[in-house]
Amino acid sequence: MEQNNSLTPFPQGLASPPGAMTPVMPIFSPTMRYNTGLTPQPVQNTNSLSLLEEQQRQQQQQQQQQATPQLYHSQVSTTTALPGNTPVHTTPLTPMTPITPATPASESSGILPQLQNIVSTVNLGCKLDLKTIALRARNAEYNPKRFAAVIMRIREPRTTALIFSSGKMVCTGAKSEVQSRLAARKYARVVQKLGFPAKFLDFKIQNMVGSCDVKFPIRLEGLVLTHQQFSSYEPELFPGLIYRMIKPRIVLLIFVSGKVVLTGAKVRAEIYEAFENIYPILKGFRKTT
Amino acid sequence: MPSSCPECGSSNVVEDDLYSQRQWVCVDCGSVVSEGHLTTTVSDETQGRAVPYHASTEVLKKPCRNLIAGFSRVRALCRILRLSSDMESAVVSLFERAYNHPNFIFVTLTKKEILGGCCVLSVCRQCNWPVAMGTIGYLLGVDNATLGTVYREFTKALNIEISTIGIMDMLESFCYDFKLGPQQVEEVFAEPPQRLVDRTSALIELAADAWIVTGRQPLPLLFAAVYLAWQSLNPTVRMKYTFVKFCKIGKAPEQSWHRSRDSVVKRLKELRDVLCKLGRELPWLRGGTVEPNTVVPLVDDILKNHRALLLRAVRNYEQQLQNESQTAQTTECDNELSDSNRSESHSSTTPELMDPDQAGCENPADKQATDCQLPPDHWSKRHLFLPPCVKNRKRQRVDAPQLEVTGDEEISDSEIESYIRSQDEIEMYLKVQKELKKMA
């Protein structure tokens, strides 16, 4: 495994030479995991992976990267503030072998959480007459007695928006940040066409939800005992364990089937970082009969 | 100030108040020369207004009626659950704190009742006294979800640390709830509680190994396990009694099991399936069939040797999988795999007896084999025992293909037009609305 800690931390598929346009800091790296005492430390797992499996996993990652280069593009997060870099470096499919070798257990999980929902807000910058909007738009519903906003939906990207009379709007249902931005712009354009002087001010992503599958069952009772200060597991109320990670501030719902839901992120990297933090811990509780 | 008396003309007029009324009286003839106002205006009063009730000391000394009723209810709960006097006083003081907390002082009376239950639950958890939420729920007559929301609010508001309670902690008190002592029921049904506890705990440990316990409501599982344990302790006589019959024999309170009857039936089925899987490995059955409805007599043997049986079952299953994958191989995969399979089967035949985990470890050769076939959740087929939610996936989630967008591209006018009503549509809509209003 030591040979992988070479000077080529970047995948073969990309044309960028190392050193020329090196990112200032990878958005998340395994070394960050051990920074603060608030980051959960992985319990030393007894099921250490064999060398064969390790190599196969790395091979798989290589294959994945070469097979789907366009995947990088859609994972570009335009909201993260990386100063002047080409976004492709921030792909989390990069095997995150640190340049300074850390402990051998710090390889990446090889699993990528998929984003399921993005909630964003934007200010259209003018007062709106909701009755007019509900009358003149095909895709709008408005029940002032039930809720004080117009609920509008568009087909592509498949999203829903809540438009308030103050001119503020909430857009939900998109699967990526750029889709959310595009959808919000489309809603603003619809409102414009209905005759209001709508602008597009202060677009901000408020929440991102991701999910993934670690593909092994998890002993939730064990996890709640060892990580008591972060976890809450009440099988009588909810079948999953609620893990409140401090750094990054993400809430994870961990289920016995191995599925994990991550929510509360403002940027994509927080979800990836949270998952990379929790994966070694979960591996420690993977006890198959 | 008058100087002379109009009656007698003397100038000896003194101020002589009658109680609180100012009067000027002539000393010689005693007549009242003049007097002040009997009533005073607000600005005159030095004492100020009357003290309102909420500021009077009566409030401090006498708590409000609902709080008193709450206290008696909470004490009754403690007595039903047979808590010690220390715990009871802790519950009462916690309830007072919670009741007077600004988040809870103005809530509905039902919520205040549930708050009492939450206090009991919280103190029981702190003192490691095993009480399930379901028990408190059925004592108060509310469901778990309502109790749960109030409990979460309560712990947040009062900054109480929640400690989780395990199913094994609840087991003993649960078993003792059933009245199956020799004096209480007939000889054939009677079971000393300790024996029942031991057998039930063995069954639950087995269920936990087989992933039936994690993530599930504990009470239905406890019911199922106690029923199976009771049956297995005298199978010849007790096999014919259903779960409902058993609850009636043991005089379990009907509200506690009635609602979760369906879950209990499901858990029973799952437990029996696990027992069957292990029962098939019993060597003296020589491969005879083991059916869920006839597995109960074998429970004794299965529990005595459960570790060895688990190992055997898992190993046989893996062997079966390897055989299947070998026959389904393409030629190149086959050559590569048969070597690694042989090496893997060597390593898997010598696991340590006290470490069944290793036997079920991911087989890297298998993983590559299954990648050739590429079904989406094939990892689940590698394990014999899995949480049922993994094995019984009802509907495959289909992810929509990801849109390739940049967020800043041009939005076509035609697309936006498709979301806006034409003038004709608007007129028709208004016409229909008017007609509907006329009709209504």
B211 backbone φψ class: left, alpha, beta (φ>0; ψ -120 to 50): left
Residue-wise pLDDT tens digits, A205-238: 999 999 999 989 999 998 998 998 899 999 989 9
Which carries the bigger pLDDT value, residue A145 or residue B303?
A145
- Cβ A25 vs Cβ A99: under 8 Å: no
Tell me whether residues A190 and B420 touch, CB distance under 8 A. Answer: yes
Give, as one character, the DSSP assignment of residue B239.
T
Average pLDDT value over all residues in chain A: 75
Residue-wise pLDDT tens digits, A83-141: 444 444 444 444 454 444 444 445 677 899 999 999 999 999 999 999 999 999 999 99
Q: Which residue of A has its CA nearest to B212?
A: A256
Average pLDDT value over all residues in chain B: 81
Of A56, A185, A289, the CB nearest to B384: A289
pLDDT of res. B159: 87
pLDDT of res. A26: 42
Tell me whether residues B420 and A217 touch, CB distance under 8 A. Answer: no
Which residues of chain B neighbour A52 with C-beta distances below 8 Å?
340, 364
* Rounded-to-integer distance, Cα B301 and Cα B285, Å: 11
Which residues of chain B neighbour A240 with C-beta distances below 8 Å?
215
| Other residues' Cβ atoms within 10 Å of the Cβ of residue B299 | 24
Which residues of chain B neighbour A78 with C-beta distances below 8 Å?
407
pLDDT of res. A79: 42
B32-41, B126-135, B228-237, B355-364 — which is least confidently predicted?
B355-364
Interface contact A179, partner B, CB < 8 A: yes
Tell me whether residues A236 and B133 touch, CB distance under 8 A. Answer: yes
Q: Name the amino acid, one letter, at B17.
A: D
pLDDT category at B316 given cuts 50, 70, 90 is confident
Residue-wise pLDDT tens digits, A13-53: 444 444 444 444 444 444 444 444 455 555 544 444 444 44
- Mean pLDDT, to the nearest integer, of B308-332? 82
| Other residues' Cβ atoms within 10 Å of the Cβ of residue B246 | 21
Indicate if the alpha-carbon torsion angle B306, B308, B312, B318 is positive or negative: positive
Q: How far is CA B158 from CA A229, B94, B95, B107, B110, in A?
A: 17, 9, 11, 16, 20
Q: What is the DSSP string of chain A?
A: -GGGSSS--S-TT--PPTTTS--SS-SS-GGGGGSSTTSPPPPPPS-PPPHHHHHHHHHHHHHHHHH-THHHHHT--TTS--TT--GGGG-TTS----SS---TT----S--PEEEEEEEEEE--S---HHHHHHHBTTEE--TTT-SEEEEEETTTTEEEEEETTSEEEEEEESSHHHHHHHHHHHHHHHHHTT-----EEEEEEEEEEEEE-SS---HHHHHHHTTTTEE--TTT-SSEEEEETTTTEEEEE-TTSEEEEEEESSHHHHHHHHHHHHHHHHHT----
Interface contact A215, partner B, CB < 8 A: yes
Interface of B with A in 166-205 (CB under 8 A): 166
Which carries the bigger pLDDT value, residue B286 or residue B260?
B260
- pLDDT for residue A194 is more than 60: yes
- Cβ A260 vs Cβ A275: under 8 Å: yes
Residue-wise pLDDT tens digits, B50-93: 777 777 776 666 778 889 999 999 999 999 998 999 999 999 99
Residue-wise pLDDT tens digits, A245-283: 999 999 999 999 999 999 999 999 999 999 999 999 998
Interface of B with A in 358-417 (CB under 8 A): 359-362, 364, 367-368, 371, 379, 383-387, 389-390, 399-400, 402-409, 411, 415-417
Interface of B with A in 219-248 (CB under 8 A): 219
| Other residues' Cβ atoms within 10 Å of the Cβ of residue B350 | 7
- pLDDT for residue B317 is more than 60: yes
Interface contact A47, partner B, CB < 8 A: yes
Which carries the bigger pLDDT value, residue B45 or residue B145?
B145
pLDDT category at B407 given cuts 50, 70, 90 is confident
Farthest-apart Cα atoms in chain B, separation: 143
Question: What token pair was written down for B418?
Answer: 């498709």
Min distance A180 CA to chain B CA atoms (Å): 8
Q: What is the separation, in whole angstroms, between the first and last Cα of chain B?
A: 79
- Mean pLDDT, to the nearest integer, of A153-172? 95
**Which among A110, A48, A42, A47 has a CA at the least distance from the CA of A278?**
A42
| Other residues' Cβ atoms within 10 Å of the Cβ of residue B398 | 6
pLDDT of res. B186: 82
Phi, psi of B5 (to 5 degrees): -80, 130
